[in-house]
Structure 1
Amino acid sequence: MERPTSTRRLDRLPKAHLHLHFTGSMRHSTLVELAEENGVRLPQALVDEWPPRLRGTDERGWFRFQRLYDIARSALRRPEDVYRLLRETAEDERDAGSGWLEIQVDPSGYASRFGGLTATLELVLEAARAAEQATGVPVGLMVAANRTKHPLEAKVLARLARQYAGRGVVSFGLNNDERKGRAREFEGAFRIARRAGLLSAPHGGELQGPRSIRECLDELGADRVGHGVRAVEDPYLVERIATQGVTLEICPTSNIGLGVFERLEHMPLRRLFDAGVPIALGTDDPLLFGPRLVEQYAIARRVFGFTDAELAELARMSVRGSAAPDAVRKELLAGVDAWVEAPPGDQDRSNQRP
């Protein structure tokens, strides 16, 4: 494959980040510092071997991944830790050219230390507003249910998300191991969220195949699907996703890190893009996988031969698939056009971040 020769800076390309988990967005250096301050003992895999060697395609590997994630979550003990995480995450997004961040959080994972579900969500929303004011990067929250828990717990979260729709919560998700809970079991929770005007963005098609994605579409009314890369196993499903305009949140380094694909070049990013599937590149959990958002675009350029015009279209797709307000979307899309139209050497003058 002929490699693109353009030198346009990818950190100057305006974009939206739609697939980023709350704890997983933390800087590694911050994790180490907070663990020391809060008396949390980190395993070697989160200190000396970072990023850890992971594999999630078997239950033992997924258990290890989840264990490391839970340990990292336990380092967040104080309200100021939450504020720091979101401020630094928004700083990283600003540096990546991201003009909209949609970060997903399951408040039940923190409720015991922050005063319950409602108090936890309000803390995160307040920290998100502070991060936006400090960096200029608008932040929307996705409340995400855990598919390894009972669907009734998801309904509780959906009702909580409904209370804050229009006040910072913009979407509702479903995450964790697809093998432990089918999407169709959570239809009731997503019905509550959709009726509140929240975007539906469940995970699907990462550890399980096309059936998982079809359930997200048929049962949960998905506007976006987290990952969704295994849709490529069913050409009719790919055509349906493209026709319906459902955005797939594809996270290259995460998929390699968890063993969904053995090598980057095995990922179907190019095949899905060429089939007309809307794609929003994401990072999933850079705390555990390493690279952040700009590197995902660099992979599209370096490994899959995306031209600057195609990278610009990826950025547009991320904006169109977002829950960003109309004014933010308009500004970002105009910035993408400016990025691709300006000569590479003029970027500093013509492609300021939104």
Structure 2
Amino acid sequence: MEQVLAPSRPSTLPSAPRDVRLLPKAHLHLHFTGSMRPATLLELADKHGVRLPEALISAEPPKLRATDERGWFRFQRLYDAARNCLQDEDDIRRLVLEAAEDEKADGSGWLEIQVDPTSYAPRLGGLIPALELILDAVDDASRRSGVGMRVLVAANRMKHPLDARTLARLAVRYADQGVIGFGLSNDERRGMARDFDRAFRIATEAGLLAAPHGGELAGPESIRSCLDDLGARRIGHGVRAAESPELMRRLADAQVTCEVCPASNVALGVYERPEDVPLRRLFEAGVPLALGADDPLLFGSRLAAQYEVARRHHGFTDEELAELARQSVRGSLAPEPVRTRLLADVDAWLEQPA
């Protein structure tokens, strides 16, 4: 008797997800010292005889919680200790080149790195030489790595607003040499955004992008102040906008990109768990998002890992991850040919079989 074989069933096993490291994207929220590799930090500390805090020597990222003043002080102390290892031209060039290489490995085709040159000026010959060295290092690393790179000069909201105006004028001076924007960083609970309005007016009237930090350690009012007082077109973090439907609508209508950094939000205690970061709420409200790594040296993960957080903890599909990547490109100041190429490459990533 002839045996009749039952029709084979299609496999019900899920296909492997696409590799997010291969997803083309832009990186809009990366701090200069915080981009350093842990191994590089140890080597530079040894080179210059700098004694590092135990938290920076450990193989694990330091335990941080900055939702109170003491916790923020500890975070800042660790950051300052790492920055103290950047003491000469070779150190600066090494950091920038390695940052570009790490970006390329994570699929980033465009990086806007944020720096306060006053932090490096004492060892590099002054404010102007420091910024010129950083810009030259960025230009060189971009050519060598193939990753487009520009600089966003950031003022420190813990310092006097007059210092910010000096930095704004400096940023404007180098607007045609790699500086594309002006930011405002550090503890937003201490320095009010409105106090820096004149500095941002100097920058924006010269055509620089206004991209201050807001809505991380402080709530929605911090973001509103960045919009109303500083003319922000991008918000560093901005994640606390999720607490206000009205503010989310405003950001969505004006297409103001929020540079959301899930790993640092959890590390600093803004949210307890990765799944608590309101990434999907912002995304579904139409707020443009650009995932960022913030300070990988201290938070332990780079850009591609933020997309893995979206996938693993928030259920983002590959189609949604591709849209996040597109939003990062659209929110960037990359030249039009670069934007066009990256957007086409995102589509090509999605068209590949999983």
Q: For this structure pair, what is the TM-score category when the shorter chain's length is used for normalisation?
A: over 0.9
* 1:47 aligned onto 2:57: yes
- Partners of 2:259 and 2:156 lie apart in 1 by 18
* 1:188 aligned onto 2:198: yes
Q: In the TM superposition, what are the counterparts of 1:176-215 in structure 2 within 5 Å?
A: 176-215=186-225
- Tell me the percent identity: 65
Q: In the TM superposition, what are the counterparts of 1:1-354 in structure 2 within 5 Å?
A: 6-48=16-58, 50-344=60-354
Q: Which amino acid aligns with 1:291?
A: S
Report the secondary structure of 1:279's partner residue: coil
Aligned residues: CA RMSD: 0.9
Asked if structure 2 preserves the Cα contact closer than 8 Å seen for 1:10 and 1:298, the reply is yes
Higher mean displacement: 332-341 or 64-73: 332-341
CA offset digits 1:97-145 (Å, max 9, x no partner)? 1000000000000111111111100000011011111110011000000
Q: Which amino acid aligns with 1:34?
A: L
Q: Which residue of 2 aligns with 1:351?
A: none
CA offset digits 1:148-174 (Å, max 9, x no partner)? 000010000000000111210011100
- Partners of 1:75 and 1:216 lie apart in 2 by 32
Report the secondary structure of 1:217's partner residue: helix
Q: What is the TM-score when the length of structure 1 is the normalising length?
A: 0.95
- Residue segments in structure 1 that go unaligned for 5+ positions in a row: 345-354
Pairwise CA distance, 1:49 = 5.5
- Partners of 1:5 and 1:200 lie apart in 2 by 42
Pairwise CA distance, 1:43 = 1.1
- Partners of 1:210 and 1:259 lie apart in 2 by 17
Pairwise CA distance, 1:343 = 1.6
Report the secondary structure of 2:70's partner residue: helix
Pairwise CA distance, 1:5 = 5.3
Report the secondary structure of 2:165's partner residue: helix
Higher normalized contact order (CA 8 Å, seq sep 6+, divided by chain length): 1
Q: Which amino acid aligns with 2:280?
A: R
CA offset digits 1:169-222 (Å, max 9, x no partner)? 011100000011111111111111111111110000001001100000111111
Bigger Rg, structure 1 or 2: 2
Report the secondary structure of 1:179's partner residue: coil
CA offset digits 1:304-344 (Å, max 9, x no partner)? 01011100000000001011111111110111111112223
Q: Which amino acid aligns with 1:339?
A: W
Pairwise CA distance, 1:7 = 1.9
Pairwise CA distance, 1:12 = 1.0
Asked if structure 2 preserves the Cα contact closer than 8 Å seen for 1:50 and 1:288, the reply is no
CA offset digits 1:215-273 (Å, max 9, x no partner)? 00111111110111111111100111111100000000000000000111111000000
Asked if structure 2 preserves the Cα contact closer than 8 Å seen for 1:110 and 1:120, the reply is yes
Asked if structure 2 preserves the Cα contact closer than 8 Å seen for 1:6 and 1:308, the reply is no
Asked if structure 1 preserves the Cα contact closer than 8 Å seen for 2:289 and 2:324, the reply is yes
- Partners of 2:15 and 2:311 lie apart in 1 by 9
Q: Which residue of 2 aligns with 1:352?
A: none
Pairwise CA distance, 1:292 = 0.4
Alignment: residue pair count: 341
Q: Which amino acid aligns with 1:156?
A: T
Q: Which amino acid aligns with 1:225?
A: I
- Partners of 2:59 and 2:328 lie apart in 1 by 32
- Partners of 2:113 and 2:73 lie apart in 1 by 23
- Partners of 1:57 and 1:259 lie apart in 2 by 6
Asked if structure 1 preserves the Cα contact closer than 8 Å seen for 2:17 and 2:318, the reply is no
Report the secondary structure of 2:314's partner residue: coil
Report the secondary structure of 1:61's partner residue: helix
User: Runs in 1 of length 4+ with deviation above 4 angstroms?
Assistant: none
Report the secondary structure of 2:211's partner residue: strand
Report the secondary structure of 1:281's partner residue: coil
Q: Which amino acid aligns with 2:178?
A: G
- Residue segments in structure 2 that go unaligned for 5+ positions in a row: 1-13
- Partners of 1:317 and 1:66 lie apart in 2 by 30
Q: Which amino acid aligns with 1:251?
A: C
